[in-house]
Amino acid sequence: MYGMLLESVQHFVQEQFGDHIWKKAIRATGSTNTVFNTHQIYPDSLMPDLAEALAALTGESFDYFMDFFGKCFVRFFTNFGYDKMLKATGRYFCDFLQSVDNIHLQMRFTYPKMKSPSMQLTETDDNGAVLVYRSNRTGFSKYFMGLLYEIASMFYGLDSIGVKVLESKNDNPGSTTGPLQLEPKTVVVKYRLDFDNRDYMAKRINLQVHESQLQLEKVDSSVLLELFPFALILDHEMKIKGAGEKVFESWIIQNPQKKPEIFIGSLVTDCFRLRRPKGILFNWKTVTQMHFVIFELELICSHHSLKSVAHQLADTTSTIDLEHDDNSTSTRILLKGQMRHMTDIDAIVFLCSPLINSVEELHGMGLFLNDLNPHGLSKEMVMAGWQHCSRLELVFEKEEERSDELETSLELADSWKRQGDELLYSMIPRPIAERLRNGQNTLDTCQSFEQVSVIFGEDTTPSEDSLQDAMRAVSTLNAAFSAFDDEVQGPMVYKVETVGHVYMAVSGAPDKNPLHAEHAADLALNMVRRMKELNLPNVTVKIGIHSGSVVAGVVGVKVPRYCLFGDTVNTASRMESSGLPNKIQVSHFTAERLKKAGYKLKQRGFVKVKGKGEMETFWLEAGPDKQ
């Protein structure tokens, strides 16, 4: 909702209940706003939350404050001059109720993101009327009642108006305890308004029996279609029963691939898109109750060239010249007018005219000046180049659609970038990748590390004798390595690579870490634990660790990898290959560091290591006791 509604609430709450109550209420809602901007958008839930907070602070009910807020808004908008607009809508309260949607229509450029409710006056009598209210906001029915009370009193002198809810659908009486956002126009409330309506009803009866009406002869509907060449006649099923010559020709031009004879008898929604009023059910019952509301229909077109249909109209009309340039494309036609129920033929007639801004736009629609209504200012407006609000709004909506598409594309691009970054960081450590992005040469990323600990873990899956065994081995490796990946989190340990059944990781590179041996030992213990938890049949893991110096850097251009080089890597690999299933074998150098840190180790003795001779090794059994 726009800030003007909340400004009205703040002003009158501070005036009637005091500034201290307002500050407590705004804090209770969790809002950080101390003032509200007239044209800024705020959450719809804020007003019901304020009503709930004020009810708790003052002892009044939630409904009392929502009704109070509605009255506040009517008193407040007089500061903006909107009271003059309301007074000009009609002599009677019913005239205003029939014109509310049109008032919102006129304000759509001042408040372009306004989600205005829709109202239909369904019944009128001497004692009042029945009003149907539709909105995409829940919890605002009492607010609307407050609006009605205040408008009836301030502008129409009706101090004793009664408002009663006859039916309610999907409205939530509380604040944010229920669903505050439903699908558009989900909330439907039918009100009975009791007030003195005798003057309005007398005016209607006088018009119906006036001598000027009784002396008129019946006129054939074809005459009406001649006067309004863009008019439509709709039956109870909302099918096109008749149409003016020009709207029929325009449909053929805009839809050259369709047979002309299918237009008559088609559903109006198959040929036109309802642009206004928004959010209503476009059916017979609704439309017959909204004969004072302005309707806008947009002709649905297939975007084909006008020239491609010249042969279809050659035999039927000579008023439209279809010889346009090859670059000419069709422009969608907007029709604006009223839906009137003609009791004589029991049909709805859409009396309308096309909205055209300029001669160039007229040409783009395949129309000429003599095709427009012979009455009114349609031709003069085209010649003068006057801009229709609906045309401007259509451009605005299209730009919003493009903006939404652009935002979606940017979000998608960001998502792809994140996925690309994740893939890159799986091959190259983040600090190294950032250096390469900044234009650094791959050779410049090479770095020597005095002390790191290298871990090798081998999955001892049985050999694959058949295709089925190979598939089972792949599944087993995936489960095991995925579990290991879960343990390699944060900057303390980095996964270097997996080759076949072997998993390689390092602690102390690329981020230097004085506790590299301890973190490598913790990872190894967790790897053994996770393998036991997986409980894979006939599958174990043997792990080797050695600490020492290495050289690390990025190797490769097409598929770059972060690699480690040095005798430390070779020794760690030998610790793994000479180990035993579900055991962690560490070198003497690493064992000495771990003993000082409190890790539990068991001497294995001297083991013959390929390329190294005999080496004293140890089994890592557990971490330090946690106090």
- What is the secondary structure of 485-518 as a DSSP string? HHH--STT-EEEEEETTEEEEEESSSS--TTHHH
Residue 626's pLDDT is what?
57
Contact 598, 625 (CB under 8 A): yes
- Tens-digit pLDDT profile for residues 263-316: 888 898 888 988 878 777 888 888 887 777 788 888 887 654 444 443 444 444
Which homologous superfamily does the CATH classification assign to the domain defined by 441-622? Nucleotide cyclase, GGDEF domain (3.30.70.1230)
Report whether the peptide linkage leading into residue 354 is cis, meaning its omega lies within 30 degrees of zero. no
The SS3 call for residue 552 is strand
Q: Which residues contact 479 (CB under 8 A, 6 or more apart)?
A: 534, 536
pTM more than 0.85 = no
Contact 240, 233 (CB under 8 A): yes
- Using a 10 angstrom Cβ sphere, with 0-12 exposed, 13-18 middle and 19 or more buried, the burial of residue 142 is buried
- Phi and psi, residue 219, nearest 5°: -115, 135
Alpha carbons 268 and 240: distance in angstroms, whole number: 6
Contact 120, 290 (CB under 8 A): yes
- Considering only the top CATH level, what class is 219-386? alpha beta
582: left (phi over 0), alpha (psi -120 to 50) or beta: left
Alpha carbons 305 and 433: distance in angstroms, whole number: 52
- Tens-digit pLDDT profile for residues 93-115: 888 888 887 777 777 667 777 77
- Using a 10 angstrom Cβ sphere, with 0-12 exposed, 13-18 middle and 19 or more buried, the burial of residue 520 is buried
CA-based angle 544:599:496, to the nearest 5? 35
**CB count in 10 Å sphere of residue 87:** 13
Closest to 244 in 3D by CA, of 219, 217, 270, 263: 263
- Using a 10 angstrom Cβ sphere, with 0-12 exposed, 13-18 middle and 19 or more buried, the burial of residue 414 is exposed
Contact 227, 375 (CB under 8 A): yes
Residue the block writes with tokens 């997996």 = 498
Containing H/E element for 178? none
Amino acid at 41: I
Which homologous superfamily does the CATH classification assign to the domain defined by 3-204? H-NOX domain (3.90.1520.10)
Mark 557-596 as b/e (b = at least 16 C-beta within 10 Å): eeebebbbebebbbbbbbbbebbeeebbbbbebbbebbee
Q: Which residues contact 217 (CB under 8 A, 6 or more apart)?
A: none
CA dihedral 38, 102, 74, 154 (to 10 degrees): 150
What's the distance, CA 125 to chain centroid? 44
Q: Which residues contact 466 (CB under 8 A, 6 or more apart)?
A: none
Alpha carbons 481 and 487: distance in angstroms, whole number: 10
Q: Which residues contact 376 (CB under 8 A, 6 or more apart)?
A: 353
- Using a 10 angstrom Cβ sphere, with 0-12 exposed, 13-18 middle and 19 or more buried, the burial of residue 71 is buried
Residues in the chain where the model's pLDDT stays below 70: 108-109, 172-186, 205-217, 302-331, 358, 363, 373-394, 462-467, 626-627
Alpha carbons 361 and 115: distance in angstroms, whole number: 30
Which H, E and C letters describe 128-161, residue by residue?
EEEEEEEECECCCHHHHHHHHHHHHHHHHCCCCC
Residue 180's pLDDT is what?
36
